[in-house]
Amino acid sequence: MRSFFTPSSIAVIGASTDQRKVGWMILNNIIGSGFSGKIYPVNPKGGMICGIKAETSVDVLEDVPELAVMALKADLVTDEMEKLGKKGVKAVIVISAGFKEESPEGCELENKLKEISNKYKIRVVGPNCFGLINTHWNLNTTFSSLFPPSGGISLCSQSGAVGATMLDWSIHTNSGVSKFVSLGNKMDINEADAIEYFAKDDDTSVIGVYSEGISDGERFIEAVSKLKKPIVMLKAGRSAAGSRAASSHTGALAGSDSIYDAVFDRLNVIRVKDMDSMFDALSVIASSKPMLKEGVAVISNAGGLGVMAADACSDNYGISLASLSPDTENRIRKEIPSVASTHNPVDVRGDATNDMIIDSLKIIADDESIGGSTVLASPLDAIDLCSIASAISEMKERLSIPITVSFPGGTNCEKAVSVLRRNGVPSYPSPDRAIRALSYLRMARTGRKPFENVMLPRESGRARVLELLNIAKNEFRSSLSEEEGKSILSAYGIPVPGEVLVTRAYDAVQAAEKIGYPVVMKIMSPDIAHKTDIGGVMLNIRTPEAVRESFETLIHRCASAVPDAKIDGVSVQKMASGQEVILSMIRDDQFGPVLAFGLGGIYVEIIGEISRSLIPMSDDEMDRMIMSTKAYRMLSGARGKPPADIDSLKDIMRRMMKIALENPEIYELEINPVMVGKKNEGSWAVDALTTIR
């Protein structure tokens, strides 16, 4: 990646004298940004372009350029790539569109391009991209004149147009950018490459990514796992409609959005839903001290703005309105009018002077319990927003806590906001956004140790799986039967209720006595698919007499409902009791195996809440997953019920993870339900649905 961001020389293939053409714009921008290395315009016609002598072909260049930028029609790109390969160029940005995103022919062209670049070991950004920028290298290879101020934010955008929007924002708000790259079709270089490079880049302090779908989930997870910097992502296509729109314009198929939530949650990626939030998060993280505690103190000259900020503290995760210490309140009391409130949110009132706001802020910064502060002011005549802005700007470095500001309104606030902006003080048009910014800052602090302390059980049922896969393969099946699935669970040490097939009432009683009451009895017949429809399942049988009676009843019911049915016998099975939950493992195409957990039984339909997580999970992560769901309220003993055996549930989860990691051939494995017994009574897998591939 170094050759892309800090090249010593650049060739522009398709450089043009026509100022309306991308080939001219890019060359002009490389020159205009102050790039100090060698520049080679290449155009079959030769001549002078932007004051530099153009070469007629890559072949005749005197040196091997470190980076090449292609701005040609799509159908010319492959030939030129071949030439670059022969020349020995190892880094190429393909600006040109007309590939995968456009048509099946374009897709073929892209495959060909990939082949050539693989052959010559050329790394490629694009095609169908907007170029890249390194402000610390005076480098702009985009075809836009937008060149941001220099700073610590590095940006990566799948979409060029969204990238342009980001650049425009950074210029407007004076938010310093380090690197920018537009990835386009991500034929070769993708988000993971960019993140890995930004991770090592000393000039990058925070990373912002716009993506419509991660194409190589495992590499993405690896890159972010190792990252020691905050990362903010806008992953669009959250909804079905959005996802359709995304795949229609990039040709990429995005995975299920709920998986992204699980991935981002695990990797501590700050997920934002819209551009405003992206910008708010990036600017506050880039310009602020870390927020070491969750307590927020609010100072305002307008009670109403304080109320809105208090509401926003309740809305946002990870922060809360702090209680000021009595000492802090006493000290503030001396600075503000006797009628003003020293409670948080501190309301210095509409007739407050600048000094009252600034003095209160200083006092608050000394309070040990405060993690960050928000200053709000309404454009009233008693204060001068501009000098408050100057005072905050001046204090910013000396205070130990981060500060966000909101002067909501319009014309009267603009000047003050521009003072703040110039000085890198994050400010927002409304109190709730100033508070939300603090919550981003708080999220940016949390460490990232995604796959630590994961202890999986030793038992392996791999041999049994291979055996069953072999049988299924011979029978051309893509799924296993319930019995087969359960035998895998058993092999991995997951408790499955005992089950015996009998053909005589006497044997049924013997079986029940051995298994232990209560039992469930089911008719077993290849001719009866839906047992319950004919009353072929009897639950909660508690005595030998009842077992005997049930046996006869089942045989009778079967005989009268389906007279010709071949009867294999009756299955006698332990009746598991407890809370029904669902555990399910599925392999996401992008991110690999995911474990899903939620309430089972009728609750699924009513509550519809399923929590998903990447695996493996540590013990803490399993706890967090279980406790984040409504199922937990049920399991921990709602309404006087005894608490359930969560430890045994976690044991089953660990064994499910082992199955997922050891058997890539198992595509999906769902246990619905797991019956979670009372504390110390264990949990049981009552059903198993297994899909293989």
Report in angstroms how near the CB of residue 13 gets to a second copy at its nearest.
19
Half-sphere exposure of 494 (CA within 13 A, CB side): 29
Q: Please, which residue, 313 or 692, has the CB nearer to a second copy?
A: 313
Q: How many residues does the chain have?
A: 693
Q: Please, which residue, 542 or 633, has the CB nearer to a second copy?
A: 633
Measured between alpha carbons, how far is 625 from 644 in angstroms, rounded to an integer? 16
Q: Please, which residue, 237 or 450, has the CB nearer to a second copy?
A: 237
Is 141:30 a contact under the CB 8 Å cutoff?
Answer: yes
Q: Please, which residue, 380 or 399, has the CB nearer to a second copy?
A: 380
Please provide the DSSP assignment of 484-502 as one string. Answer: HHHHHHHHTT-----EEEE
Q: Please, which residue, 202 or 381, has the CB nearer to a second copy?
A: 381
Helix ranges, 544-583 (H): 544-561
Q: Please, which residue, 171 or 689, has the CB nearer to a second copy?
A: 171
Nearest 5°: CA angle at 337, between 335 and 340? 105
Measured between alpha carbons, how far is 611 from 583 in angstroms, rounded to an integer? 10
Report in angstroms how near the CB of residue 337 gets to a second copy at its nearest.
10
Amino acid at site 549: E
Q: Please, which residue, 307 or 561, has the CB nearer to a second copy?
A: 307
Q: Indicate left, alpha or beta for 50 from its phi (over 0: left) and psi (-120 to 50: alpha).
A: left
Q: Structure tokens of 614?
A: 């990447």
CB atoms within 10 A of CB 111: 12
Q: Please, which residue, 263 or 278, has the CB nearer to a second copy?
A: 278
Measured between alpha carbons, how far is 224 from 219 in angstroms, rounded to an integer? 9
Q: Please, which residue, 271 or 658, has the CB nearer to a second copy?
A: 271
Report in angstroms how near the CB of residue 642 gets to a second copy at its nearest.
13
Report in angstroms how near the CB of residue 579 gets to a second copy at its nearest.
11
Q: Please, which residue, 343 or 693, has the CB nearer to a second copy?
A: 343
Report in angstroms how near the CB of residue 331 gets to a second copy at its nearest.
19
Contacts of residue 388, defined as CB under 8 A and 6 or more positions apart, other chains included, come to 354, 357, 358, 375, 377, 416
SS3 category, 150: strand
Report in angstroms how near the CB of residue 20 gets to a second copy at its nearest.
9
Measured between alpha carbons, how far is 463 from 576 in angstroms, rounded to an integer? 28
Residues 328-336: contacts with CB under 8 Å, at least 24 apart: 328/363, 328/364, 328/366, 328/367, 331/363, 332/359, 332/360, 332/363, 332/364, 335/359, 335/360, 335/363, 336/360
Report in angstroms how near the CB of residue 662 gets to a second copy at its nearest.
34
Report in angstroms how near the CB of residue 130 gets to a second copy at its nearest.
8
Is 456:616 a contact under the CB 8 Å cutoff?
Answer: yes
Contacts of residue 223, defined as CB under 8 A and 6 or more positions apart, other chains included, come to 191, 192, 193, 195, 196, 199
Q: Please, which residue, 183 or 657, has the CB nearer to a second copy?
A: 183
Measured between alpha carbons, how far is 683 from 644 in angstroms, rounded to an integer? 9
Report in angstroms how near the CB of residue 346 gets to a second copy at its nearest.
10
Q: Which of 62, 56, 53, 55 is nearest to 44 (CA)?
A: 56
Report in angstroms how near the CB of residue 667 gets to a second copy at its nearest.
26
Report in angstroms how near the CB of residue 163 gets to a second copy at its nearest.
9
Q: Please, which residue, 348 or 465, has the CB nearer to a second copy?
A: 348
Report in angstroms how near the CB of residue 268 gets to a second copy at its nearest.
23
- C-alpha distances (whole Å) from 591 to each of 4, 222, 259, 586, 671 are 27, 11, 8, 10, 21
Measured between alpha carbons, how far is 475 from 689 in angstroms, rounded to an integer? 18
Residues 308-314: contacts with CB under 8 Å, at least 24 apart: 308/430, 308/431, 308/432, 309/345, 309/374, 309/376, 309/431, 309/432, 309/434, 309/435, 310/345, 311/432, 312/431, 312/432, 312/435, 312/436, 313/435
Measured between alpha carbons, how far is 516 from 543 in angstroms, rounded to an integer? 10
Report in angstroms how near the CB of residue 134 gets to a second copy at its nearest.
20
Report in angstroms how near the CB of residue 165 gets to a second copy at its nearest.
4
Examine residue 7 and say whether the peptide bond preceding it is cis (omega within 30 degrees of 0): no
Report in angstroms how near the CB of residue 15 gets to a second copy at its nearest.
17
- C-alpha distances (whole Å) from 347 to each of 295, 304, 378, 379, 420 are 17, 9, 12, 15, 22
Q: Please, which residue, 117 or 374, has the CB nearer to a second copy?
A: 374
Q: Please, which residue, 143 or 180, has the CB nearer to a second copy?
A: 143
Measured between alpha carbons, how far is 427 from 416 in angstroms, rounded to an integer? 10
Please provide the DSSP assignment of 329-389 as one string. Answer: HHHHHHHS-TTSB-SSSEE--TT--HHHHHHHHHHHHH-TT--EEEEE----TTS-HHHHH
Q: Please, which residue, 167 or 363, has the CB nearer to a second copy?
A: 167
Report in angstroms how near the CB of residue 339 gets to a second copy at its nearest.
5
Q: Please, which residue, 117 or 579, has the CB nearer to a second copy?
A: 579
